[in-house]
Structure 1
Amino acid sequence: MEKFDELDAVAGNKGETFTKTPIVPIANETESNSGQGKIAAEHLNQAEYPISSGIAVVINNINFDDRLNLTDRIGSDLDASSLFQRFMELGFDSDLLNDATKNEMETKFNEIKGDKESLKITDCLIVVLLTHGTEDSVYMTDGVVKIKNVMEHFNATNCPELHLKPKVFILQACRGSDLGGGVERKVIRNRDPNQADASASYVEYDEEFGETIRIPNEADFLAVYSTSTGYGSFRNTETGSPFVRHLSDELREMKKGEDFYKVLTRVNKKVGMGYKPKHKSEGVITQMPCFISHLTKDLVFKQKV
């Protein structure tokens, strides 16, 4: 009798059985990195995602159904237009949805998934959600939807044309009602200009060609949040949100060949340590962005100009 690996958690009742999912072996295919159970070995072993084209969808929700009792997100138009412009400059086929309902979001995602010929030549997908939110959900204009469910539209099972391709979700939304806290310290200028940069290395795991691999549904996803879990996310009615403003600036100024991780890390620093929210609450109020990466390669965007 075949033995299975056990989970380090209680999974249902005793005696519960699980069905094994059949795995399709890799074929020796070189013209594409996606298809019916086929992955080219050269795509699997690349250290960097090859990006020459992409799709970007910006969903900008400002006005909501009165029954949701949510305030209008005045100033979000600035965020939407700046990110839309950045993605256009990066050569992405970009689209902007204003005040989208759950059905309109689903329709747009299904439209993307349904155009399989376009997806085959698409190297990257970016979805931006500018809206109200909770710890694990975001609001469309007519109701709430789990972030997990939004992302699942494009996972390995539901969108095989995007296997091994980065899927980036950027969320400017609250993730709770708490206010970020912190401390204030004086910055003392260092007289020594020589600063040692920490270095790190990683060992890339290579499967022997012809071996069967499994692609997790969560593989090649990058979730970028304007704030940490449990906390609110600020937006200015005249200048937009500090998170999107700094992200847009960093995308415009990023160096040729620079990994997107570095861009996001600079955004974390500028918002987390440089932004001082104007809020009626006493004490030190902060906002700390974060990103959760399931990427399997370096992510480098190719500037159009």
Structure 2
Amino acid sequence: MNAPAMPSSPTAPPELPGAAGPGAAVLRWLCDPCPATAPAELDRAGLGPVLQAAIDAKLVCLLAHRLLGGPADAGLSRPMRSVLGQFVRANALHNRLHRGEAVRIVRVLASRGVSVAVLNGLAYDTALYLPGGLRQFTDIDLLVDAADRDAALNVLAELGFTQPGRGAHTRRRTTGDALTPTVSIDITTGLGHTADPADVRAALARTKAEGDGGVALPVLARADALAHALARLAARPRWSGLADAARLALAAPGSSREAVAAVSEPLHAGWAVLHSHLPDLVPGPPPATGGRLAREEVAR
């Protein structure tokens, strides 16, 4: 995976899909980890468009959680409460199955001496969101050193992942589960902000073990995860990416306005997207210098 090419001169941050459409204010509210009062768009008469927007943005479980856990719940019909609860429960089961598959794969890779990190949705599921299946994702993203990619694909084959997926290094297997009939694994050797093998190896060496119920998985250190999320947000603006970056910005070292001034253009552009939609959460980015994220900040 190559680092996304970004313009060298300042431009307006790329827009998120549907950012001016029905439900946009609610989507911003869902992405904000420190939300204020629920937006007026949550008026019951407008819940249909809001639900549609949340489903399209893969934020419907976050919406269900906030509606069912807040004062707005009093205005929900019993069937609506039931449907929203089903969204969250089904996604919790989906995520649990994927976590089990990831643990199985990571253990075998570790036994073969292959360093690996879990990226994106599954990595953020319990680290950045409340328990219960609030982070939605479709596959398991695994980062390995480029020299270990073939070994990782061989391990997947041994574990039954023989069906080709959407990408050249994606493998799937059937599960026999009615809710999640297939599990897809995507092997990558690059991060959103860098494809340099030395940088990837360094990020793999900094991984942290995070888990749910005592089952730990290797995930990127917070600053590495923030850099990856910001670059992905700049390259492909998505609401779920905005929600991830917002939570990482609060949890990761090196997320201050001064630190952003020293990072590369893709990270600076991602911060601009984050600020443009959640200006009360993070300050605006200063002019980019084109440098790299400081090693001492990443290692801290």
Structure (1 or 2) with the larger CA radius of gyration: 1
Normalized per residue, which structure has more helix? Answer: 2
Scaled by the length of structure 2, what TM-score is found? 0.25
Instruction: Report the TM-score when normalising by structure 1.
Output: 0.25
